[in-house]
Amino acid sequence: MTLYGIKNCDTVRKARKWIETHQLPVNFHDFREDGLAEKDLQHWCQIAGWETVFNKRSTSFRALSDADKTNIDQAKAIKLMLTHPTLIKRPVLVVGEQVLLGFNEAEYKKVFSL
């Protein structure tokens, strides 16, 4: 299982703490330090939908140019998220074929049968 995110993100911190509390083995992948593979991003978009992965409510989205904010489709969203990883809804937890976006304790409990 891999948890993707950014170390200083509050929601990522909550997810990491929850995982540690439940003593679950996890690899943490920091977008900023470790980079991001386009194939991973495409997989998440395929599973969860690019509109869910692409966070239009983020500060990073508001900082984009008007040209970047218009006519967004999956290809453009992926390109933008690769350039600006903070546009990705965090954290992204990949457990087998499941992709969970954001931290929702009830969802985590369900996935891990806790």
**Euclidean distance between CA atoms 57 and 74, whole angstroms:** 17
Active site annotation includes 45:
no
Q: Does an H or E element contain 101, and which?
A: strand 98-101
Kindly give, in sequence order, each residue whose CB lies less than 8 Å from that of residue 90, ignoring residues fewer than 6 positions away.
Answer: 4, 5, 6, 9, 11, 12, 55, 101, 102
Q: Of 1, 6, 9, 64, which is the active-site residue?
A: 9
CB atoms within 10 A of CB 55: 18
Find, among 10, 32, 46, 11, the residue nearest to 83 by Cα: 32
Catalytic (active-site) positions: 9
